[in-house]
Structure 1
């Protein structure tokens, strides 16, 4: 695993998110993905040789990939499907639902129904 290549893909994704109005800093990405504010900073230090053991491992990279809404395979290698598989997206949504307030749940419901109504049913 080449941490420099992983960081290039992280930077690419962060730039896209910024353009989309969903900007995120290294610090906020680290916090969302791992609970620590220093993960990405430590990887950058590892890449420059300033910190040889910074904890960049497959499990942590997978958490960062999920926070970036990209597949771990793509983040690690630059190959394969870039987006998260649909099954992973659905699983993430289902796992988050119990943590939402009743008002937030109603907002999610309204959004899902509104999106569904935008797509006519497929003819069989």
Structure 2
């Protein structure tokens, strides 16, 4: 719901960083409560997210299971539906105005060997394959 990217070149003071991030929640234009942040997040993403669904006729009881239990059922249509939905959610959350970059969360480093530049290669196909 709240993402902040900050490059650290030295030691990270986790306590100070946590205080600073919590402080952002109470500054305008950020609402103070989790419910307000969630509502704002849903408003921004719902239209794009709801454009596509994958229905493999999974058992409704399996669809209601938590992800940890679905992972124990690798041939479950409900697991495939959930993975598809999660992939779309992550792609939409990462995209914004620019395509997702292969840095940070994906590589574990903001300073990648290729400078984190936007390139069109096999990665483009892999990133958008499930975004139909």
Give the TM-score normalised by the residue count of structure 2. Answer: 0.26
Q: Which has the larger radius of gyration?
A: 2
Structure with greater helix share of residues:
1
